[in-house]
Structure 1
Amino acid sequence: MLIKKGAMFGLDARIALAIFGALSVISGAALYSAIQDAKVTSSITELEEVGKAFDAYFFDRGEMMKKDGTSKFALNIGELVSNTESSLNWNGPYISLEKGSLSTLLSIVNNPKTVSLQYRPNSSWGGADGDTLPPAECAAAPCFIWVTIGLAEKTLAHAIDEKVDGTGDNKTGRIRIWDYTSGVNDGKSNVYYQYSVAPVQP
């Protein structure tokens, strides 16, 4: 019986290529998942670091930074990087971020996202445009310090929610999500992270 070695070699090559292709798909998916998970972990660390910077500022000053202008919830986060009040007890900068266009914002270098600190209650809020609005102010205890990342990718925002709260409910838990569903920010989300009970209550 004659064995067609060329045909067998061709079959072996096709099997090897099929196996290699399958392994490439599997490893590619695993790599993508690992990269996404790293982004989520990095963002959560970022939120925590801003909260720790707030703690250090409060420890030095003995008071929270002021609310900005007429805002009833946005704190002057710029105080974390610049001693605008010329306080002798200011030992910053407390975090390596840049001042944003407003005193309520810090900018992440080479990144369109912004970071802010907010003084809000723990009621249910979040969702999409026109859905449950965040409370305008916290008028009664307990009030919380919320670290906010603005204009994060929507998929990243919801992955952070899943990682921290273990659910996809963006209106309760330590993570609240505000999804933009129209306009220039469509596909982006604001992430609100409940860092701690505020050291100063109404």
Structure 2
Amino acid sequence: MIIKNITSNVQTSAQPTDMERSGIFSVNAEPNNASVQNTYVRIAGSSLTEKARRSVACRGAMFGLDARIALAIFGMLSVVAGATAINVLGGAAVTALVTEFNNVKKSYQEFHLATGDHTTRFKDLIDNESGIPGWAGPYIDLTSDRSRQHGTYSLIEGRQDVPGVPPVECTGGGICSVFLKLTRVKDSLAAEADKNVDGEESANSGAFRIEFTPGGTDDVYFILAPKPAS
């Protein structure tokens, strides 16, 4: 209860005032020569309690609003961070696949320089079971034709200058090449890798080609080296 000391010369009255009757204020006075030396005005406890309750309720409401705003902001940041993480991981997967293909391409070219052979047996890059003269491998850091992340590798001949998946057979002239084939590559990854290699989505032409298969994966083809038509 708050007490305010007011010193004044106010005539005392035996009758309670209207404010005293209402319970808002109560006045106690000690008469001294028909004047009041010390008058205490008390603010009613009920009024203060109500005001305090309203103040606490207001602060509570503001705290709740701040908490909701903070949660909304954190939610938005989580969405943005999640999308960013997905993009980063997706980009890393594309880079890894294209890098792996380029490494196989270099390995094939080294094999050809050493042997003069245009093999269509993928394992010739790993071992020399075929007995190829001049072989000095292994040329690739694999122990089988199984990809570490996808399906299996193989080598096929096909027309580089003609659209088609699988590549068109090397007959009747034209530019023939050896293609690297990899199975079970995710649809989205294959599409992004195609854009990375060819600069656009060109599923049935270019250096990177996609053969759509049922399900969520595809077979992809990547040109390794030109080859004389047989």
TM-score by length of 1: 0.78
Q: Pairwise mapping of residues 104-123 of structure 1 onto structure 2 (< 5 A)? A: 106-109=145-148, 111-122=149-160, 123=162
Structure ID, larger Rg? 2
RMSD between superposed Cα atoms in Å: 2.0
Shift of 1:147: 1.6
Q: Pairwise mapping of residues 14-29 of structure 1 onto structure 2 (< 5 A)? A: 14-29=68-83
**Unaligned runs of at least 5 residues, structure 2:** 1-50
Question: Out of 174, 182, 196, which is 1:163 matched to?
Answer: 196
Structure 2 vs 1, CA of residues 56 and 27 (structure 1 numbering), >3 Å: closer, same or farther?
same
Q: Which amino acid aligns with 2:224?
A: Y
Shift of 1:152: 1.0
TM-score by length of 2: 0.69
Instruction: Note the alpha carbon deviations across 1:31-71, whole angstroms, 9 max, x for none.
Output: 01110111111111111111111011111112222xxxxxx
Shift of 1:168: 2.3
CA contact (8 A) 2:170 2:229 kept: no
Count of residue pairs the alignment pairs up: 175
Q: Pairwise mapping of residues 1-202 of structure 1 onto structure 2 (< 5 A)? A: 3=55, 4-65=58-119, 75-87=120-132, 89-99=134-144, 106-109=145-148, 111-122=149-160, 123-126=162-165, 134-181=167-214, 186-198=215-227, 200-202=228-230
Tell me the SS of whatever aligns to 1:18: helix
Shift of 1:85: 2.9
Write the distance in 2 (CA, Å) between the matches of 1:189 and 1:11: 50
Shift of 1:139: 4.6
Shift of 1:86: 3.2
Q: Which amino acid aligns with 2:112?
A: F
